[in-house]
Amino acid sequence: MDTTLQDPLVGQVLDGRYRVDARIAVGGMATVYQALDTRLDRVLALKVMHPTLAADVSFVERFIREAKSVARLAHPNVVQVFDQGADGSYVYLAMEYVAGCTLRDVLRERGALQPRAALDVLEPVLAALGAAHRAGFVHRDMKPENVLIGDDGRVKVADFGLVRSVDTVTHTTDTVLGTVSYLAPEQIEHGTADPRVDVYACGVLFYEMLTGDRPHYGDSPATVLYKHIHEDVPPPSAVVPGMPYPLDELTASATARNPDVRPYDAVALLALARGTRAALSEEQLDVLPPQAIDDGRLGSEARTSVIPRLLPVDEDAEYAEDAEREVLRTSRFESPPPLPPGRRSARARRRGPLAAVLAVLLALGIGTGVWYINSGQFTKVPAVLSKTQAAAEKKLSSAGLDVGKVTHRYSDTVDRGTVISSSPAPGARIRDNGSVTLVVSDGPETVRIPALSGVTLAKARAQLKRDGLEPGMVTREFSEDVPEGSVISTDPAAGTERHAGAAVALTVSKGSPVEVADVTGADLADARAELEEAGLKVKVAAEQVTSDEYDKGEVAAQTPDGGTEVAAGDTVTLTVSKGPETVEVPDVVGDSVDDAKQALTDAGFQVKEDRGLLGLFGDTVKSQSVAGGESAAKGSTITIKIR
């Protein structure tokens, strides 16, 4: 059933100009319609705020103010805002209409994408966000639903209606703006948003494109939010075996939980993305996603890129020269300015027939190389990728081609002894009897863990890096044999082979253990001397403690405790007693026995009676063992003599 028939806006004309034709989508803030601008006769998207929000005057004012700001953000990868207005209770934005689908639709239908396709989506998204960031805006709600893919292959970022100025700190209370799966840790913890939250969201989005799934799941939104704060986004290669390491690095950089570690804005991340693409071979860019392998979709059918590269990208451009020009350069969808009829250049007129022929050949799926083969001077380089070196050489020889230089390269994705790439590439034109160079895989690059026992930690770390490994976690243990600060062992053990770049954990010696003497109850000077003679340092706590057990000046406590094993040079902290707590003794001479005992007991003392022979029947205190007004230890005994 067409739900648009029940929508009261469908069929109406807003502001006497925009005819609402169909409902496209419903979101948390607004409903989006396909509409016709009757004044300019063009199809556009009309975003109409929900009536409940439209009743909030301050919200509407902010919505309009931000819409006007975003309308100034002219970029080929940003959905443009044409107009804003209100018609009765309807507050709307008139925006560019993009015929096509969202990235969410693509992921839902296809699952994971090949790295080439994922980068083809990510780069124009970053170009759009880069323009926004350099103009002073943060999107704050990047997710696949807000990435539109047009029928013509163009990528555009939508829903800039929630942007904030870069220098604005946003705090949320009852609700968290944005979708929980893409929120940066600082958005969740502090409610703050700067360009790095968009960088984080794009990193999560990129992970989802490479793996077909989001990195964090939970039984509730709160669980997902907790994982964003406390768990790193896993590397895509953990889900997709054979995923090239540079893609893991790009994902980790964008999704670093510490915002200071991330690229500072989308332009910086775009530069990393383009560098990552340049570092990957054609085979690595076309790593099959899991579902393609499961479904048996191999070869050319699996090498489908969602977004065609319509225009070449200057891979060596320096984005630091001019931010706005850079983000425009990074968009591969900028169209050349149209020329009026009859004004085509001579070059365009000359290439017209050839271009038409090539277009027909390409439409039929025929490579341009085929068109030239019949000349008799050229042939095609045969397909030799993933073949053994011997088989590749035989195939080249059968095609009348010579085998040129053969080089070797490590590869995590291509089996040892098989061809990684050729130059010229398979299918390329080459003169008869031409020479083809081959790059053959040596398999995964492995490094033998060096023997580092007895080597200082600094030198061990340097050695690991020289060998192509990464120093990992350091733990410290006592050792009678290995000097303090030197390596006891490694994990993996010495001699073990590991992939280049693998982390090696190090166990480092704390030296021979020293048993801490128990110096509680000793005079401070004596305790210090004993500990220092054992090679330990002594620190005296600033605060002294009262103690019924230890006299003033004696050690009442120590950290670590006596009997604990520590390294030579470690510090033992001593806490000194200031003796028991003292209180003033009340004067009870002349008081009755009962009153005297009550006064002394209330003051915290024990009471002892001394009656003698003359005081057996007396009831008056003649004297007391500690005179009234003097201090005595709380809980001590005061003797009263009775007459």
Question: What residues are annotated to the active site?
Answer: 141
Please name the residues in contact with 38: beta carbons below 8 A apart, sequence gap of 6 or more.
13, 17, 18, 19
* Lookup: tokens for 565: 């094993």
Contacts 24+ apart (CB under 8 A), 541-547: 541/573, 541/574, 541/575, 541/576, 543/575, 544/575, 544/576, 544/577, 544/578, 545/575, 545/576, 545/577, 545/578, 546/577, 546/578, 546/579, 546/580, 546/581, 547/577, 547/578, 547/579, 547/580
Q: Is the backbone peptide bond immediately before 235 cis, with ω within 30 degrees of 0? A: no
Among the listed residues 327, 315, 307, the one whose alpha carbon sits nearest the alpha carbon of residue 78: 327
Q: Looking at 465-509, which runs of residues are DSSP E strands?
A: 470-477, 487-491, 497-499, 503-509
Contact 552, 577 (CB under 8 A): yes
Please name the residues in contact with 170: beta carbons below 8 A apart, sequence gap of 6 or more.
140, 164, 177, 191, 192, 193
Contact 154, 22 (CB under 8 A): no
Rounded CA gap, 130 and 136, in Å? 10
Q: What is the 3-state secondary structure (H, E, C) of 379-434?
A: EECCCCCCCEHHHHHHHHHHCCCEEEEEEEECCCCCCCCEEEEEECCCCCEEECCC
* Lookup: tokens for 50: 């929900």
**Helix axis angle, 266-279 to 195-211, nearest 10°:** 30
Contact 641, 613 (CB under 8 A): no
